[in-house]
Amino acid sequence: MTVQTKTESPLSREKRWVLTEPPSPERVSQLCAETRVPEPIGRILVQRGIDTFEKARLFFRPALDQLHDPFLMDGMETATERVLAAVSSHERVRVYGDYDVDGTNGAAMLYLFLTEAGANVDPYVPDRLKEGYGISRIGLEKAHAEGVTLLVSVDCGITAVSQVAYAKELGIDVVICDHHEPGPELPPAVAVLDPMKPGDTYPFKGLCGCGVAFKLIHALSRKLGTEHLLGSYLEFVTLGTIADIVPVNDENRILVKIGLEAINTRPRTGIKALIQQAGFRSPTISTSQVVFGLAPRINAVGRLGDAMRAVRLLISSDEHEARGLAMVLEEENRERRKIDEETFENARLLFEQSADFESQSAIVLHSHEWHAGVIGIVASRMVERYYKPSIMLATVDGVAKGSARSVQGFDIFKALTSCADLLVQYGGHKYAAGLTMDIAQIERFSLRFRETVEETMSDEHKVPAIRIDTEVSLSDLTPRFVRILKEFAPFGPGNNRPVFLTRGLEISGKPRIVGKNHLKFRVSQNGVNFDAIGFGLGDYLSELVRNPGRSDLECAYSLDENDFGMPSGNWNSDGIPQLKIRDLRFPNLFDSENENKGLSEPKTATGLVGGH
């Protein structure tokens, strides 16, 4: 349960500050006594369901022996029997992955495992523009022509009913490893591994496609007696899990926590080359650097051309080859950014030139000129800019193919389901989906989709929320507090970086703009000082400058280590944090200024909401 704080400040009118309801003081006190963590840390742990010493131990010290039994997943016994039979009889096996980070890493990982198990196996990723998403008839006909008798899909296949039926006609057995929402009918595969399918009682539903493939490896290695080698595949699962924005809790936390340690200490040759090409240095690779640095480079080759180049990099053990492939990914990513920027600008103008664009509940745009490989990125950027569910459609082989992205709390997959009769194909998650339709249906689809959003989207979903974990004083932010907070990592959905609220702050020094409209200033409270930075919050500068001496500033922020210059605050150690401002306000400023200065419209500024 959450409670919404008031937002009288003109700068906060566009955001909701949602302060999580405090947990039971008795439970917090007991946990703090058992674990010896500071009270604010204890409050956050209990809020996240970590309310006993044992749960805290598992949270802060995850280990592979805490993973769920892979045979709890429905279909796993059948899947392992079929794969092991193919290995022992030297059948031709094909690992069929999707062209994004999740799919390419899953394909690379499963290919390497099966190769090491003695299988006659090769990896395959379809061409995005020529074959489209998922298992295709073209891909199956290639497999049949090359003698493949077992195809194992990764991050695709759950909705490929007709395609899997066609594979059976060709004499190809299919094992599906997927995590997307299933349709009304499951494919006629030998085994379907997907914790989201009806009736599956696997205890964790948040695996990515690569994660499901890892559970297949987990089960196979148990039968082969190689379970002690599981850790060598965690780098792939880590990249896939982080890039696919699935929850970083439960089993995923174990995989990502240990996987990031491997990436930072002993990365595989291909991943090491990718890290170096991105300009990162170990041991500083975090979830943020994967999302914003490594994942876009892997995705770029699949968006603009042949995703097998990413697979070849990921499986490479030759440093020279890996460096060359990493440079290819870098060049493709530069080209992708250029196309992305041009497409976004075109989409922005197209939307803002439409009638009553501000009142539209959702965005649906189509262009014959757009590159299908970047429309997912553009849809995400449209959501970020306008905070509306967004669908971008490009023309591919005479049909409209699109990517859908949603706002926090709104299930865009369900909204697409209400339009299913107008679609040729669709699939995905609550917040991201893909779809295909006849171009002639775009206008009808756009109208019905917007009507569906208007009818089902609550007012709460229309305003971005800043979810605050707990209120603290600056004096709570001790070096020990920050050291423990670091152990909350890796951050992501389901385990977001904690956001704090501090009231009664005073601006010390002179606020200024740095970089591209980033607000840099310093705050103090009862003699404790910290540097603060608000990315993209430069519009706040005038309010801070116009209100010198006030000691009622309220800030919602997270704590990041300070890599922007000299240490700040009262500390004398390295790794001094700064306040990373999500939003700020002077209480009652809007009402008083309206009355005294005749202000008629609230100012707005776009802050950082959520994040990891």
Q: For the whole model, what pTM was predicted?
A: 0.86
Would you state the pLDDT for residue 595?
Answer: 36
Q: Alpha-carbon distance 150 to 59, whole Å? A: 39
Beta-strand (E) ranges in 397-527? 399-405, 425-428, 432-438, 465-468, 470-471, 500-514, 518-525
**260 touches 490 (CB < 8 A):** yes
**172 touches 473 (CB < 8 A):** no
- Residue intervals of the chain classified under CATH 2.40.50.140 are 2-22+465-597
CATH class of 66-331: alpha beta
| Per-residue model confidence as pLDDT tens digits over 406-418 | 998 899 999 999 9
Q: State the first-to-last Cα distance of the chain, in angstroms, to the nearest integer.
A: 22
| Per-residue model confidence as pLDDT tens digits over 250-270 | 999 999 999 999 999 999 999
Would you state the pLDDT for residue 597?
Answer: 32
| Per-residue model confidence as pLDDT tens digits over 31-78 | 999 999 999 999 999 999 999 999 999 999 999 999 999 999 999 999
Would you state the pLDDT for residue 575?
Answer: 53
Average pLDDT in the 13-31 region?
Answer: 90
The residues, ordered by sequence, that sit 6+ positions from 81 with a Cβ below 8 Å of its Cβ are: none
| Per-residue model confidence as pLDDT tens digits over 479-522 | 999 999 999 999 999 999 999 999 999 998 899 999 989 999 99
| Per-residue model confidence as pLDDT tens digits over 332-389 | 999 999 999 999 999 999 999 987 888 899 999 999 999 988 999 999 999 999 999 9
Q: Alpha-carbon distance 341 to 105, whole Å? A: 27
Phi-psi region of 566 (alpha: psi -120 to 50; beta: other; left: phi over 0): beta
**Hey, what are 54's tokens?**
């044992």
Indicate whether 573 pLDDT > 50.
no
- CATH topology assigned to domain 2-22+465-597: OB fold (Dihydrolipoamide Acetyltransferase, E2P) (2.40.50)
- Residue intervals of the chain classified under CATH 3.90.1640.30 are 66-331
Indicate whether 591 pLDDT > 60.
no
Would you state the pLDDT for residue 243?
Answer: 94
Would you state the pLDDT for residue 587?
Answer: 82
Indicate whether 609 pLDDT > 50.
no
- Tell me the CA distances in angstroms from 607 to 307, 385, 405, 604, one per residue in order: 35, 11, 20, 9
**163 touches 134 (CB < 8 A):** yes
| Per-residue model confidence as pLDDT tens digits over 94-131 | 999 999 999 999 999 999 999 999 999 999 999 877 78
Strands 528-534, 500-514: pairing is: unpaired
Identify the band that residue 589 occupies on the pLDDT scale cut at 50, 70 and 90. low
- CATH topology assigned to domain 362-456: Diaminopimelate Epimerase; Chain A, domain 1 (3.10.310)
Average pLDDT in the 145-153 region?
Answer: 98
Would you state the pLDDT for residue 548?
Answer: 77
Would you state the pLDDT for residue 16?
Answer: 87
**347 touches 366 (CB < 8 A):** no
User: Which has the closest alpha carbon to 202: 184, 190, 218?
Assistant: 218
Indicate whether 588 pLDDT > 80.
no
Beta-strand (E) ranges in 377-485? 390-396, 399-405, 425-428, 432-438, 465-468, 470-471
Would you state the pLDDT for residue 561?
Answer: 59
Indicate whether 11 pLDDT > 60.
no
* Helix residue ranges per DSSP H, 180-304: 209-224, 234-243, 250-265, 269-277, 287-289, 295-304
What is the DSSP track for 253-282? HHHHHHHHHHHHHS--HHHHHHHHHTT--T
- Residue intervals of the chain classified under CATH 3.10.310.30 are 362-456
Provide the mean pLDDT of the chain.
89
**330 touches 297 (CB < 8 A):** yes
**Hey, what are 415's tokens?**
């909204």
User: Which has the closest alpha carbon to 55: 38, 34, 71, 75?
Assistant: 34
